[in-house]
Chain A
Amino acid sequence: MKDRRPDPDELLKVVSKELKQEGRGRLKIFFGTCAGVGKTYAMLLAARQQFEEGVSVTVGVVETHDREETKRLLDGLPQLPLRSIDNQGRVIQDFDVDAALCSGSQLVLVDELAHANPAGSRHAKRWGDVKELLAAGIDVYTTLNVQHLESLADIVSGIIGIRVRETVPDEVFAEATDVVLVDLSPDDLLARLDVGKVFIPGRVEHARQNFFRKGNLIALRELALRCVADRVNADVRSYRLSKSIASVWPTRERLMVCVSAAESQERLIADGFRMAQGLQADCLVVHVQRPDEDDTDRVRFRSLARQAEALKIEFLNVVGDDVAETLLECARTNNVTKLVLGLGTRRWDRPWRRQLSERIACANPKLGLLHVAVESMTRKIRLVAWVSQPSFSTSSLVITTAACALTTVIAEWLFQFFDAPNLVALFTLAVVVVSLRLGRVAAIWCALLSVLSFDFFFIPPLLSFAMSDTQYLFTFALILVIALVTSEVGSRLRADARNARAGERREATVARVARDLSGALKSEQIAKTCTETIAPLFEAKVALIVPDLSNRLHQTSAGGFEDLSVAQWTYDHVQRAGQGTDTLSTAQALYLPLKAPIRCRGVLAIQPQDWKFLEGPDEKRLLEACCSSIALALERIHFAEVAQETLVRMEGERLRNSLLSAVSHDLRTPLTAIRGLAETLERQTDLPQGDRAEVASAIRHQAEGLQRVMTNLLDLARMQSAGIRLNKEWHSLDEIVGSALARLGPTLSMRQVRTDLPGDLPLLEVDGSLIERVLVNLLDNATKYTPPDAKITIGAKAVGNSMYCFVEDTGPGLPSGDPERLFEPFMRGQKESAIAGVGLGLALCRSIIAAHGGTIRTEGIRPSGTRFEIRIPLGSPPEIEEENAA
């Protein structure tokens, strides 16, 4: 049975397209062959119809070219004022995108989609403005001529002989909701031209002979018709897909366009792109970087990369010595089904080499090969390129000459011992060394000089160039070959080493960036990684700009060069902006949105010292990789914070619940007693004096208990809420102990309390009143939980770097179970006992001691009793000037 289910990937694409449409404005393009077919007219007619149906329509910008019919259609439609831009003294009127955004209308008319905006506008091209309107949910009507489509620009320039500069990316055309073809037969168009109904800048006659030739118009019309037909095809396909009416599922084709920087191959990319569209196939461009490429190659290579980017094609740059093998490997890893190759002429300098396509065809016969003829560059350019190697310079010739002279001198000396033919080897050695180091031209020069001086100084007749010396032409030829081969090998080795070094450096840095980011716990750390690791990688100033809770961006401390308004635009629209992009390109830096899976997490501003450096596809990809790593790290931090907050909230919730239940017992009980006792005093006026005193003292007793609970509760809340601000000073422990004992005076007066403090205890840097609370709580516990005859000892000793302070009693000892649990808030040895206190005391003690960097623990002692021990680090006590003993 045949599987009739739609391919999930395809469906996903349709769904995502629909999702993307939701909330976005719809774009309707009035598409035509060339100027004069009536696109603007058709657009205005359609707009009027909408207007009459009650849609709020605004004219953003429309070129009427002073034509009456068009002007009449404009009457009654609300028009936006144009924006005046001062461009080097000339005032230009142009479409105001902000006014359109603020106008609140549902539909905006924007003529001439391919129009280039004047310098200083937000977007370089008008289609950028249109995209922004669409993103804001505003519908747009616009017009477009076929020659302005990016992928057709080459073909059109081939037909009409003029290079079209104002182009619109194909994706804008593809994403349009609706394309209306405004068609006019070439004869009718020419007739309109004759009666002056078409606006042409310049003379009509001149136009007729150049652009408006019938042949041109027919070709352009065919292009336009095919474009629209392709679109309809695509629409039908997506309709079928969503309705699952498919009967044929073609396996996915993948086209790989193979370009080399050595030849001009922009055509190749455009052709490959259209072939891919025709085949409904994916397309990617591969460039094989040879180790010996030079600066001109690099420039051309960047322009190829730019073109691929403009067409939204993936551009891969792979390094390899053997082009065929590299391409085959690349095709294999990318599941490519067809290769598009430029069919160059056989290389004049390597006639023995097989054509690239032959080798690929032999190696993998299953791959489809498509050949496109490309013009090879002229020989002259290649020759210049061949000579002007990076290592060539005049100084290298001087060095070469000196080396030859030196060799001659050494040979002259050796001439006493050896025959002349043996000395040829010495000259060959010089040639090899020079060729390896100084490149081709120096090598040739060295070979020539060597042969000449060998002939002149060592071949009889000495000190002359005799006729018989012509046989040394053979020697010269041999040495020349050696020189050339050696220089080739040398330059390759050098280039390999250079590439390897650069690659290594880059990989090391990327690894470091990844490591630094993975370890980051705060956005400040990520910002630090940006400035310290990423910035040197691109030789640029880099600033990380992250939003606050209300999605506003704020100036960072590190940068200083960034423009917040551009950054905010980048963040809001999740699109790159700034220098080198189509948006706000007058900005001083490039702004990249940090897109994470859930949402945009911030903006990376980058300002390289050399803008060309950023244009290389390797650097671009590296920058993108860095951006997504940063975005992921930011998102991770965000969610870590959220999780942490939730945890803290849950913990707080738990604490509050247990607090409430504990408080309801331990506060209500004394309050009930106080209230009841006070009411007894109030009502029973005839109470005997002794009873009155007893009741009053009970009230006081309950109030004191309540006070202790309150103090602990407040202290614990203070310790746990705002973090603990310790008021640390150098205290002597006996003062604190004395103060604690004094505070518990009435409670302890009935008990046997012993202090065990050596007289020479060092000072302790602590918050005195907090440590006093710890001791008060421990002593209070000791009196509460032991019988009146139990002995209590408080003492301390300094051991090593720590002060150990303890409170011991000879009571019944600890309750069974883990003694650590006693330090949890609201824990008590016995639940709901009659002894006052919510079990906060020990929790508070632990918080305080932990804040001092110490520990507190408890243990039972033999034969019976409990010991609480506090350890506090001693630190280094301050200097005390010795007093002169009197």
Chain B
Amino acid sequence: MSKPRILIVEDEADIRRFVRMALEKEGMTVAEATSAEDARIDLACRRPELLIVDLGLPDSDGKGFIRELRTWSNAPVVVLSAREREEEKVAALDAGADDYLTKPFGVPELLARVRAQLRRAALLNPNEPASPVIHFGNVRVDMATYEATKGGEAIHLTPIEFRLLAALVRGHGKVLTHRQLLLEVWGPGYLERPHYIRIYMANLRQKLEDEPTRPRHLITELQVGYRLAGLDHVP
């Protein structure tokens, strides 16, 4: 496997530096851009496999940049944002970003996210074997027969719970915002009722997690959305 190509779009030199050092240590090729303008040029000539984008760029709004990128590329995007820009984070995810990191963030966290996104991108390749059975932890779900087991015991899931789980599986590793989940599972009429997700997510956690208040797979990104972590396909 060749070295993954990463593009960092960030105007703060020191942040760029330590991110680059960390990624290069992991054996990745890193390009740097200080503005959206630079990033467009790098995108065209280097074709990066993953982008790390700061939302507060000097020349443009990070969201606009991501929306533009999404019109022609599926490369995963990890967004960097300051804590007080919570709404902007959601907007960036809705615009097509895949994950986010809140400043200040640690190197191990960054590496974990980047690796997860690269793995997901690889799995989404068209030559992926279309196995209908998925596993996470001691849970096994057959997407074709709507059967779920936990530690070998059959679990009953309602149709909506199953649809919700399927949506999380499809976007696994990616943070799915409330809006995206509501649209996909319930339809456009339910956009103003985020409490539906909360109820059904609570049910899913009760049924599938060992310790529902300290979930390991059905992760809550508070005020933002949900993420399914630790998913591995059985070959």
Contact = CB atoms under 8 A, between A and B. Distances in A.
A645 interface: no
Given A732-B202, A734-B202, A735-B202, A707 B104 contact: yes
A880 interface: yes
Given A729-B195, A730-B195, A731-B198, A768 B159 contact: no
Interface stretch (A192-200, A303-311, A738-746): A738-746
B222 A885 contact: no
B199 interface: yes
B123 interface: no
A882 to B, nearest CB: 10
B219 interface: yes
Contacts of A738: 212-215, 220
Nearest to A737: B213
Nearest to A763: B195
B84 interface: yes
A757 interface: yes
A878 B158 contact: no
A773 to B, nearest CB: 10
Contacts of B104: 703, 707
A714 interface: yes
Contact of B199 (A711, A736, A763): A763
B223 interface: yes
A739 B159 contact: no
Contact of B195 (A718, A737, A878): A878
Contacts of A739: 220, 222
B193 interface: yes
A66 interface: no
Contact of A772 (B160, B199, B222): B222
Given A711-B83, A714-B84, A769-B86, A742 B194 contact: no
Interface in B206-224: 206, 211-215, 219-220, 222-223
A758 to B, nearest CB: 11
Nearest to A711: B83
B202 A768 contact: no
Contacts of B43: none
Contacts of A772: 222
Q: Please classify how large the interface on chain B is, using the bins under 10, 10 to 19, 20 to 34, 35 or more.
A: 20 to 34
A735 B195 contact: no
B214 A883 contact: no
Contact of A886 (B158, B214, B223): B158
A735 B158 contact: no
B220 A769 contact: no
Interface in A593-619: none
Nearest to B104: A707
Interface residues of A, number: 32
Nearest to A765: B195
Given A714-B84, A886-B159, A732 B214 contact: no
B110 to A, nearest CB: 14
Contact of B206 (A736, A755, A759, A880): A759
B52 to A, nearest CB: 20
Given A729-B194, A742-B214, A735 B220 contact: yes
A730 B205 CA distance: 17
Contacts of A883: 158-160
A877 B195 CA distance: 9
A729, A736, A763, A883: most-surrounded residue (chain B CB, <10 A): A883
Contacts of A550: none
Given A730-B194, A731-B198, A763-B195, A742 B213 contact: no
B201 interface: yes
Contacts of A729: 194-195
Given A729-B194, A763-B198, A886-B158, A734 B222 contact: no
A727 interface: yes
Contacts of A700: 106
Given A739-B220, A759-B206, A768-B222, A734 B193 contact: no
Contacts of B106: 700
A689 to B, nearest CB: 16
B100 to A, nearest CB: 14
Contacts of B206: 759
A735 B194 contact: no
Nearest to B220: A735
Nearest to A731: B198
B195 A736 contact: no
Interface in A389-425: none
Contact of A742 (B158, B198, B199, B219): B219
B88 to A, nearest CB: 13
Nearest to A881: B196
Contact of B213 (A711, A731, A755, A885): A755
A727 B178 CA distance: 15
B194 to A, nearest CB: 6
B213 A757 contact: yes
A336 B86 CA distance: 79
A238 to B, nearest CB: 71
Contacts of A730: 194-195, 198
B159, B202, B205, B222: most-surrounded residue (chain A CB, <10 A): B222
A254 B166 CA distance: 100
Interface string B69-93: 0000000000000011010000000
Interface string A739-767: 10110000000000001010100010000
11 contacts: A730-B194, A732-B201, A732-B202, A734-B212, A735-B222, A738-B215, A739-B222, A759-B206, A763-B199, A769-B222, A880-B199
Interface of B: 83-84, 86, 104, 106, 158-160, 193-196, 198-199, 201-202, 205-206, 211-215, 219-220, 222-223
Top 8 closest A-B pairs, CB basis?
A730-B195, A755-B213, A739-B222, A735-B220, A732-B202, A732-B198, A886-B159, A769-B223
Given A732-B199, A737-B213, A886-B159, 17 more contacts: A714-B84, A718-B84, A727-B223, A730-B195, A732-B201, A734-B212, A734-B213, A735-B202, A735-B220, A735-B222, A738-B213, A739-B220, A741-B214, A755-B213, A763-B199, A878-B195, A883-B158
